[in-house]
Amino acid sequence: MEVVVAAGQWVGAAVLVMSVTGLLRWAVSVVPIPVVKGIQLGAGLSLIIGAGTSLLQPLHWIHPVLDNRIWALFAFLVLIVTQRLPRFPYAFAFFILAIVFAIIAVLTSHHRLPSFHVWHPHLILPSWTGPHRDAPALWMAIGQLPLTTLNSIIAVTALAADLLPDLPTPSVTSIGMSVACMNFTGTWFGAMPVCHGAGGLAAQYRFGARSGASIIFLGLVKLVLGLVFGETLIDLLKLYPKSILGIMVLAAGLELAKVGHSLNKGAPDLWENAASDSFSGRVGRIHRDLGDEERLERWTVMLMTTAGILAFKNDAVGFVAGMLCHWAYKGSEWLNKRNRSRLLRGERAPLLSS
C-alpha cells in the first residue's frame, strides 16, 4: 500500500507541474481533435469489453439466483427500452434493486451487514524505494501518467464540452490541479490514487447528471457512508450483483463511445469565426465543410488511436499511433503542396509523391 501511495503522489506532483507551467494547455493546442476523439472512443470500447469479459461472461444462466445472466438480460432490456425516457431513473432504480440483492446475499452467507463504525483515520507514509533499492513507485507513476493526462484530463475536458455545450467547460489546468490535490491529500489516509475519468463523466451524464449539484450530492452521500459505516461496507460491496453492475458499465461505455459521431460534424476544430454583425458587433461562428478526403483522414486518425488503445491496452500507445498517423497525413499534404508549387514554377517534381 505504501508503494501505491508513493506512486499516486508522484503522479500528483507531475500533473501539478504540468498544470502550473502551462504544459497541459500546450498539449491541448497540439493534440488534434481526431486523436482526442480516438482516446474517448477507445476508453468507451474498453469499458464495454471489460464489462463483457470481466463481469458478464463469467455469469451463469440460473445460479446464483440473484446474480445471473437472466438478471443481466432484464437490466439490458430495460436500458434499451428507456433510452428515450430521460426522466426514467434507471440508475437509481437498479442501484436500489442491486443493494437489496446484496443485502439478501449477505444475510444468507457468512458475511456481515454494514454497522455503525466511525472511520478512524490513520497516517500511511509513502514508500519511495523498494526492498532492492529500486524505485517501483516511480516506474508505476511513469506508466500511469499517460493515462491520467490523456484520458482523465484532456479527454474528460473535451467530453464535458461535447456533452454539455451550453455550460462553461472546465479548463485542463483546473482539472489537472484537482487531480493533483486529490492525490496529495487522500493518499496519506489510505485512499487509492484517483483521477477524473472520462468514463465516469459519461456514466453520470447517461444516468441523468446535468449539473454540479448532482456530483456534490453524490460526493456527500459517499462521504457520509464512509464516515458512518467505514470498512463494514466491504462485505456488502463484494456481493453487489455483477449482472447489474456489468450493464451499467456497458451503458457508460456506450455513452462515452458515442462522442465519436461528432468527429466530422460539430467537433470544436470545425467551427470558425465569421464576419461580425454590423448592428450588434457580435462575431458569429460557421461550421467548416469537409471534403471526402479530409473526412476519411480524420476518421482514420481516430480509428488508429482507438486501435492502438484496444490492441495494446495502453492509452500511450494509442496516442502515439494516432499522432504518427496524423503527422503522416500532414507530411503527405506538405509534399503535395510543394510538388504543385514546383510544377507551377516549371520545375521538375521529385519522384517521391503520395
Is position 328 within any domain? no
Please, which pLDDT band fits residue 354 given cuts at 50, 70 and 90? very low
Q: How many CB atoms lie within 10 A of CB 293?
A: 10
From 275-284, 291-300, 337-346, the region with the lowest mean pLDDT: 275-284
The CA-CA-CA angle for residues 67, 68, 69, to 5°, reads 145
Is position 265 within any domain? no
Core vs surface per residue 38-59: b (16+ CB within 10 A) or e? bbbbbbbbbbbebbeeebbeeb
- As a whole number of Å, the CA-based R_g of the chain is 24
At residue 84, does pLDDT exceed 50? yes
Mean pLDDT is highest, among 119-128, 163-172, 181-190, 239-248, for 239-248
Give residue 300's pLDDT: 97
Strand-pairing partners, residue 148, are none
pLDDT digits (tens, 9 = 90+) for 96-105: 999 999 999 9
Give residue 272's pLDDT: 74
pLDDT digits (tens, 9 = 90+) for 171-227: 999 999 999 999 988 888 888 888 888 888 888 888 888 888 888 998 999 999 989
Please, which pLDDT band fits residue 268 given cuts at 50, 70 and 90? confident
At residue 145, does pLDDT exceed 70? yes
Is position 270 within any domain? no
Is position 63 within any domain? yes
Number of folded domains that form the chain? 1
* Cβ–Cβ under 8 Å, residues 184 and 9: yes
- Of residues 271 and 245, more confidently modeled: 245
Is position 103 within any domain? yes
- Of residues 190 and 132, more confidently modeled: 190
Is position 141 within any domain? yes
Is position 301 within any domain? no
Domain extent, residue 216, equals 1-260
DSSP conformation class of 213:
H
Is position 294 within any domain? no
Contacts of 108 (CB under 8 A, 6+ apart): none
At residue 127, does pLDDT exceed 90? no
- Of residues 168 and 68, more confidently modeled: 68
Contacts of 98 (CB under 8 A, 6+ apart): 240, 241, 244, 245
